[in-house]
Amino acid sequence: GYLPLGPRLDSWKSLQKIQLKPQFSITPASKRQFAFNAIFSQSTNLGRGKLAKIIDEQGSETDLPIFTHIAKMFSSLSNGPNYKQLKRGSYMKILLGSVFTLSPAGHNSECYRLYEAVEAGSIPVVVKSDLYITSVHRCRDALYRWYDAPILVLDSWKDLFPTVERLMNEPEALDEMQIKLRMWYDDFMRKTVTEFEDYMLESFLKDGAEKASIVWPR
């Protein structure tokens, strides 16, 4: 059976802590502080280094409100004293305040950030080469279940700034995209849970039938 990667546990706990506050609500895309966030480490994929260069070169030339925190090396030990990436609580707050969340492929194109972004009401941004992996790759088709998701898919990261600048001038369309994504995600997760439960039940019944057919010696 298939199970989606889902958010990282520490990110999920941070989000739940924020959601427990009495005044919490998901901010509409058109009312968010940042046009997009770029929070990633460069070491897990060469494409991330290229994206970091594009952001560095074009970020100073745009009026878009963006948030960037790009580390050189990846570390799984979040919130530690030597951790160079953004702490999880701050990370989730940035996602909650961003219209878009850049989700460049790391070791795998299916990464935690996709799920964390949607849970926070932020629209993931990917490039076609990460979404539709056509080469021989151990993670080929990792995102095939996301093919119909209403996320932002770019031909190239070079299209990032002009595309987001155009979309930011269409607030109603952004809100509609955010709502459609939430509906798609809820349906996606519901179907996934149902498929997994059916798989487990079928396996249990099959295992039970096989055991029942065994003639035990007396």
9-22 in b/e burial notation, b at 16+ Cβ within 10 A?
ebbbebbeeeeeee
Contacts of 75 (CB under 8 A, 6+ apart): 41, 82, 83, 84, 85
Residue 67's pLDDT band, with cuts at 50, 70 and 90, is very high
Residue closest to 145 by CA, chosen among 99, 191, 198, 113 = 191
* Contact between residue 154 and residue 160 where contact means Cβ atoms under 8 Å apart: yes
* Contact between residue 152 and residue 35 where contact means Cβ atoms under 8 Å apart: no
Q: How far is CA 209 from CA 1, 186, 195, 204, in A?
A: 20, 35, 21, 9
Lowest mean pLDDT across 10-19, 27-36, 82-91, 110-119 = 82-91
Q: Residue 12 pLDDT more than 90?
A: yes
75-111 in b/e burial notation, b at 16+ Cβ within 10 A?
eeebeeeeeebbebbebbbbbbbbbbbbbbbbebbbb
Lowest mean pLDDT across 1-15, 77-91, 126-140, 195-209 = 77-91
Q: What is the pLDDT of residue 1?
A: 58
Computed over every residue of the chain, the mean pLDDT equals 88
Give the mean pLDDT of 141-159.
93
Taking the C-alpha atoms of residue 10 and residue 101, their distance in angstroms, rounded to an integer, is 18
Q: Residue 218 pLDDT more than 70?
A: no
Secondary structure of residue 82 in the 3-state scheme: coil
pTM: 0.88
Q: Where are the alpha helices (DSSP H) in 75-152?
A: 88-96, 112-119, 128-131
pLDDT tens digits along 15-63: 999 999 999 999 999 999 999 999 999 988 889 999 999 999 999 899 9
Residue 205's pLDDT band, with cuts at 50, 70 and 90, is confident
Beta strands in 94-179 (DSSP E): 98-102, 123-127, 152-154
Q: Residue 167 pLDDT more than 70?
A: yes
